[in-house]
Structure 1
Amino acid sequence: MKLPLPADFFQCPALSPHDTKCLTNQATASAMAVVNKTQLQGGPIAWSLRSNEGDLQIFKGIHENSNEANAFVYMSITEVTGTIEEVVELFQTRTTAQAKQFTTRFGKQLVDAIKLYSLVPASADNPMEMADITWRAYKSPMSFFVAKRDACLLEVNHAFQLNARRGWVVSTESVALPCCPDLQDLVGLVRMHNFGSGHVFLESDCRPGCLEIRYVAHVDFRGASFDYVSDAMLKRRAWLSDLNMTKRCRNLKCIDQFLREDRLSRESAVPARHVPHNLRVQCHLCDTHFGWTNTKTNCFKCGEVVCKSCNPYWSVTRPERRRDFTP
């Protein structure tokens, strides 16, 4: 059998009220466990700085649970301009348009996905709360050497308060269900285990209008039994896993870009060449003088004359054609 799987591939019986309540409680506990993991001090993870990349810090951790010896746990931290409401809207998938936009932005590693249960449906009246159980299949980071992975996940969106600061968490955690069995023999997918991962958004306590964002990835990719793997293969596995996890962590910086694009989508554009080119001899943003190698362009948001370096492409959803904006 090949991917994508038919929509009715998993035969999921209706949940009893008791099972629904237990899974809903587990969803909230799972989300808050992810929030707790992101604490640099006093949490369940012993974090050490792996790399400081200016506006992004990446940490590697060791979990106190010895049963997770084969798991990898990484975290990235950054700060962006924005509000909780903006990131809630960014992660919404209630409508078809929202789901397509979300998949385009965040689903680049997905091969297939099927929703198994909806425990707490997201709604326009309460967009911050959601709990689903979903099966996902992922691309391989190195298709010639590493098999594709899949997971049965409890997906949660949950609002919380931490030290008088508003917060919101988007988390995932593996859950075992009889209706979602291992598919390695049938499809060739290795069932990975997610111990609790996700994005945590907190309002800044010192910079109004800013958000502190933390992304934690805590997974065991699984695969061959370690009793039959050489030291060289173990080192290669560790190297590949580190490469994959740090790449995931760096993707956190994309959220700032997505928030800016959403703001631009809500704003109106000025007419092309609002400020005539002949009125400017240097870039409005970086003050670089225009010349043969530095041509003039107009920002479609403010109309000013800027250089191409200061006028990147932004993917903006508008009734008219997509246009370029400066940040």
Structure 2
Amino acid sequence: MTRVVVLAGGVGGSRFCLGMRAALQGRADAGSAASAPFTIVVNTGDDLWLSGVRLQPDVDSIVYALAGVNDTERGWGRAGDSERVNHELQAWGAGWPWFTLGDLDLGTHLARTGWLRDGLTPTEVVARLSARWPLGARLLPMTDAEVDTYVTVADPGERTMHFQEWWTRHRAALAPVRFENPGIAAAVPAPGVAEAIAEADVVVLAPSNPVVSIGPILAVPGIREALRSTAARVVGVSPIIGGRVVRGMADVCLTAIGVETSASAVAAHYGARAAGGVLDAWLLAEEDAADADAVRGLGIHPVVTPLWMRDLPTSAALADAALAAARATS
């Protein structure tokens, strides 16, 4: 069995994880779906407390996607959800009027919050959430610590807000000065994360936002070191196609940290393992083939391949390409 670990967050991460599950289940050595052929280390940097409940947007997006109950049109939440409770909260002036909580989604948040209040850790809560459906993967939060992301913006003077307010309410229109995860320096990887990376054959950085999805995972002390020391090949998938972000406002995030919106610049941001970074190989789109030499110059093996995840077959093909890139660099 090929032991695979995927670092992921957001819609791109969810789609890639669906593809990886399909790719692994299609392999003769993958075993059954119930054997959890791969581990997903999920970003929890965009978690938050709202109306007294704990939300984990990236965890829920990946759980819902693997369970087949996600809203594919909106890209978040449950399919066919209603919003009666959300409307009632707004009538009371509670919560955020620009942050919609579906009724089914609230059921998840209430269950999570109750378990946390009972003393369960986030890792144990994610395991309970995952047990409801046959996901074909083991999900682990990046850490059990609360390390929510805050954005300092110039508006015109500097002020700080939760990432979800900046992302959802303002649609990243306020120029960010910096992104911070208070408390992350004292955090540790969630139980099983470092071990999964150490025991893996392949580790993949999904095509998620490099700054606010993959960035917080790598910022947890011990995870970057685990990636550098593992015997596995570490493969990254570019979130840039044709010099543009695929979804969301990752370009605004990259600009804020001084990284150009290009496939080669994001590869340089992650860096080659041989030079103290985390990558052995980098998948970049056919539209960005001209960047391959620059990636190679970084000491990272470039693989030019189709990156568009239009459906499950194309997502699975991308996951297969990532696995093949790992074999090519072994």
Whether the TM-score (by the shorter chain) exceeds 0.5 is: no
Name the structure with the higher helix share: 2
Q: TM-score, normalised to structure 1's length?
A: 0.25
Q: TM-score, normalised to structure 2's length?
A: 0.25
Determine which structure has greater relative contact order: mean sequence separation of CA pairs < 8 Å that are 6+ residues apart, divided by chain length: 2
